[in-house]
Amino acid sequence: MPSTTPPEPPVIATVEHGVGTLTLNRPKAINALNHEMVGLISTALTRWAADPDVSTVVVTGAGERGLCAGGDILAIHRDASDLEGAGDVAATLSASAQFWRDEYRLNAAIADYPKPYVALMDGIVMGGGVGISGHGNTRVVTDRTRLAMPEVGIGLVPDVGGTRLLAQAPDELGTYAALTSVHLDGADAIALGLADHYIPAANLPAFRQAIAEQSVREALARFAVAPPPSKLAAQREWIAEAFVADTVPAILEACAQTGRPEADEAAATIATKSPTALVVTLAALHAARTEPHLRTALTREYRTSIRCLQHHDLAEGIRAQVIDKDRNPSWRPNSLDAVDAQESARFLAPLGDALDLTFELQEAPLA
């Protein structure tokens, strides 16, 4: 009887020379996160935080395409299709809700991690990939980085702490990135405050070897270089003026008034996104600016994700962009003017004490 080789785990955790390495191992899916992966990452980080033989953690992705393309979008589509019009209780019992609860708790734990947490943001880094990298204390981008929070294009609102990260970006660049879903290169990511260090992709193997031989700080001093100029930051003047407006329609009007082709292009791109998701995303960004810490933002984002499960646009957006790929979603409502203010405000409202995301079991950093 022929022997069978067991499949590799979706996250490979190894320790060598004091470095704990987490390799996201679903290369055919560009290492998109599922619930099992979140659990494996959390378990390894908890163990290594208390292990004196582990001094540093490195997070990377298998394959050549990227660190992580986001979450398991097909699983979310199944729940969204079943839960359209359902109430909060039903939505919070879904598999997607359980995934988000553990994923967002992991995001918070990463932000509090007590050891160097080096995220190698090479290649594609989207959605959930930002959550496992953007909150780390050492965020490395490369000349191959393509980072985005593309949620509004599928009827979702940026999550995994993304609204907090984007709200902190200077000159409304984060608002621009959230509403347009623009792909950011490594230089853009640093300009927006989503990353810290720039290392050419060709030098990543040598950098990783250096981490095993010396401190992270010393390795960065050897291999990190100044990023090239950010093309997005070069547009910061008109973006700051247009995207400071209080509403999405006002932002579109301000873009038109600039007389700049790139502003017209941004407005045309925004017009293709879910009107409801756009309105809620802008409100979420404004809320994030006054929230005291990441966990507050994650609790609010959990609410919006649960409400998105109940809204038509999420299932429809995933269908159009990922399943049928016709790129022709039928949004409801289909215009910004038709988005009900009270309904959009409900996306950010508390779910209730028994339903909201809490962090009682993780008030301290992972240990």
Contacts of 65 (CB under 8 A, 6+ apart): 27, 30, 123, 124
Torsion of CA 217, 219, 223, 226, to 10 degrees: 0
- Residues acting as catalytic residues: 71, 128, 151, 159
Burial grade of 200 (CB within 10 A; 0-12, 13-18, 19 or more): middle
Q: Which residues pair with 119 in a beta bridge?
A: 59, 139
Dihedral sign for Cα 96, 38, 73, 357, please.
Answer: positive
Specify whether the CB–CB gap between 45 and 75 falls below 8 A. no
The backbone torsions φ and ψ at residue 33, rounded to the nearest 5 degrees and listed phi first, read: -80, 140
The backbone torsions φ and ψ at residue 355, rounded to the nearest 5 degrees and listed phi first, read: -115, -30
Q: How far apart, in whole angstroms, are the C-alpha atoms of residue 26 and residue 12?
A: 10
Q: How far apart, in whole angstroms, are the C-alpha atoms of residue 255 and residue 134?
A: 29
Q: How far apart, in whole angstroms, are the C-alpha atoms of residue 366 and residue 106?
A: 9
28 is written with which tokens? 């055919």
251 is written with which tokens? 């932002």
Q: How far apart, in whole angstroms, are the C-alpha atoms of residue 250 and residue 255?
A: 9
Q: How far apart, in whole angstroms, are the C-alpha atoms of residue 227 and residue 176?
A: 21
Specify whether the CB–CB gap between 288 and 276 falls below 8 A. no
Q: How far apart, in whole angstroms, are the C-alpha atoms of residue 144 and residue 216?
A: 22
Rounded to the nearest 10 degrees, what angle do helices 248-258 and 173-180 cross at?
A: 110
Burial grade of 213 (CB within 10 A; 0-12, 13-18, 19 or more): exposed
